[in-house]
Amino acid sequence: MNIPTTIEALDLSSTIIQVENLSLHYNRKPAFAEVSLPIYRDQITSLIGPSGCGKTSFLMCLNRLVDLVPLAKMSGQIRFNAEDIAQKKVNVVALRRKIGMIFQRPNPFPLSIKKNLELPLKEHRTKNKAEIEEIIQTTLEAVGLWKEVKDRLRHSALLLSGGQQQRLCIARALVLEPELLLMDEPCSALDPLSSATVEELIQQLKEKCSLLIVTHNLAQARRIADYTALFWFAEQTGKLIEYGPSAEIFNQPKNQITEAYIRGERG
């Protein structure tokens, strides 16, 4: 593995998550192995690389959604707020309140728009009606959905367009005020226009929380990510090949594979 020295030189107190030697197996079949990387606070970090090299699995380790996969076995350390969240005994409900996740396909619940946002709010933050109304409005405004849906909050969320559904899902994660938002190819199931809207929204979200985005769209990673990590399938498992500021990864990659991948010659 070849992690550039520039990373080590950076101030580590600005990291929100420090991953150390993280490996994941599905029923003894490795998904990725020995990944170590810091994720910086209030920055956008993107994970790129070909399919099947463990990017999504890596994401699911960080909020322990991987617990739901039968026979998945994780080893290594994930330091988040001075706590190792890779430990079995960690309170995953409290963890997932602080680390939100957006999926590739928008997955609003088959309930009304309002209920979609109310559900996590009531569970974790407040049962006060006025407060709930206020949070719903400010959050929907933050994702640019308020004007579009304010008159039909009681309609089914499934009636929204794909892009609107994805923004609703982002709002649903934001009502919990997460410190880190994991996004698994949030734009790939959307049409180009909706994709652009969501991408714009992601850039604004930087002011609210840190973001870790898996994307297959290299141009998107180059546009929005402050840091970029390249995962690659090597030695029968997913590996972290190169990690650093996006400008360096895209302009002066140190690894030959990275260079070929960026130029579209491999992957």
Helices (H), the chain: 5-9, 55-62, 92-98, 113-124, 129-142, 146-149, 162-174, 192-205, 218-224, 246-251, 256-262
Report residue 239 as tokens: 């590996």
Nearest approach in angstroms of CB 95 to another protein is 8
C-alpha torsion 188→231→177→12, nearest 10: -150
CA–CA dist 68, 144 (Å, integer): 32
Q: Which two tokens stand for residue 32?
A: 């990725």
Q: Are 243 and 4 in contact (CB under 8 A)?
A: yes
Nearest-CA neighbor of 163 among 202, 114, 214? 202
d(CA 245, CA 227): 4
Q: Which stretch binds another protein (CB under 8 A): 165-173, 205-213, 242-250, 259-267?
A: 165-173
| Total binding residues toward another protein, as defined by CB under 8 A | 33
Q: Does 169 bind another protein (CB under 8 A)?
A: yes
Site map (CB under 8 A) of another protein, residues 65-104, x = contact: x--x-xx--------------------xxxxxx--xx-x-
Kindly state the tokens that stand for 22: 């993280």
Residue type, 29: K
Q: Choose between 27 and 51: whose C-beta lies nearer to another protein.
A: 27
- Please, which of residues 45-64 interact with another protein by CB under 8 A? 63
**Contact status: 152 vs another protein (CB under 8 A):** no
CB of 203 to another protein, least distance (A): 22
Q: How far is the CB of 109 from another protein (least distance, A)?
A: 5
Residue 125 interacts with another protein (CB under 8 A): yes or no? no
Indicate whether 107 belongs to the interface with another protein (CB under 8 A). yes
| 8 A C-beta contact, residue 127 and residue 199 | no
Task: State yes or no: residue 154 binds another protein (CB under 8 A).
Answer: yes
Q: Which of residues 100 and 245 has its CB atom nearest to another protein in the complex?
A: 100
Q: Is the Cβ of residue 79 or residue 105 nearer to another protein in the bound state?
A: 105
User: Least CB distance from residue 65 to another protein, whole Å?
Assistant: 6
Using the rule CB under 8 A, is 109 a contact of another protein?
yes
Chain centre distance of CA 154: 29
Binding site for another protein (CB under 8 A): 63, 65, 68, 70-71, 92-97, 100-101, 103, 105, 107-112, 115, 119-120, 123-124, 154-156, 169, 172-173, 176
